[in-house]
Amino acid sequence: MLSQPGPFHIRPARPHESALILDLIRELAEYEKLAHEVVATEQDIRSALFGKQPSAECLIAELGDTSIGFALFFHNFSTFAGKPGLYLEDLFIKPEFRGRGYGRKMLAHLANLAVQRGCGRFEWAVLDWNAPAIRFYESLGAKIMQEWNINRLTGDALKKLATEAQG
């Protein structure tokens, strides 16, 4: 007879779990067909989440003692609202645990956290090809912001623009 897994719960990640978080990030990147872009190291994750000035926070989703997913988020700020916002960088539930409401529970947990922290909004991005995720987010009441485009500077372009501030 198979034993039933323990209850589902969400908890803050711990510093010794940096390797686990990186593994989950890699699984997410694989799903998003972006594995080639993951250059983070375990030390990068440890420093960013648990160092002197943490840049983000991470939650671990567990079913009993089994880690089944994570959410990584940070605060931004809305000048129009005059309030902080909560920005979800990554949400991932392992494929074998999807369709059971765990992703929704993670989002509800984060929404509650945003409300408790006085945030004016809770935001995240979704890849335009990910129709199942888009439908899921819309079912929650999320509005896909078609009129906004993300801009990004990385690598050489970032360094080149930064040199203008040095001279």
CATH number at residue 122: 3.40.630.30
pLDDT given for residue 2 in this prediction: 52
Q: What is the pLDDT of residues 34-84, one digit of tens each?
A: 999 999 999 999 999 999 999 999 999 999 999 999 999 999 999 999 999
**Alpha carbons 158 and 114: distance in angstroms, whole number:** 31
3-state helix, strand, coil in the chain (%, to 5): 40, 25, 35
Q: Is 154 helix (H, G, I), strand (E, B) or coil?
A: coil
pLDDT in tens, 88-125: 999 999 999 999 999 999 999 999 999 999 999 999 99
Do the domain assignments include residue 144?
Answer: yes
Q: Give the whole-angstrom CA distance, residue 108 versus residue 116.
A: 12
Reply yes or no on whether 137 is catalytic. Answer: yes
Establish if 3 belongs to a structural domain.
Answer: no
pLDDT higher for 61 or 154? 61
71 beta partners: 59, 91
1 within some domain: no
Task: Report d(CA 90, CA 73) in Å as an integer.
Answer: 7
2 domain-assigned = no
In-domain check, residue 148: yes
pLDDT at 44: 98
Into how many domains does the chain fold? 1
Domain membership flag for residue 124: yes
Q: Which residue has the tokens 């990147």?
A: 29
Model pLDDT for residues 127-145, shown as the tens digit of each residue:
999 999 999 999 999 999 9
Q: Which range of residues forms the domain containing residue 91? A: 8-163
In angstroms, how far apart are the furthest CA atoms of the chain? 71
For residue 97, the 8-state DSSP code is G
Q: Do 140 and 88 touch, CB atoms closer than 8 A? A: no
The active-site residue out of 31, 87, 102, 137 is 137
67 lies in some domain: yes
User: Nearest Cα to 10, choosing from 95, 113, 85?
Assistant: 113
Distance from C-alpha of 148 to C-alpha of 126, rounded to nearest angstrom: 13
Q: pTM, whole model, 2 decimals?
A: 0.91
99 part of a folded domain: yes
The residues, ordered by sequence, that sit 6+ positions from 67 with a Cβ below 8 Å of its Cβ are: 20, 24, 60, 61
pLDDT for position 4:
61
Average pLDDT of the residues in 161-167: 90
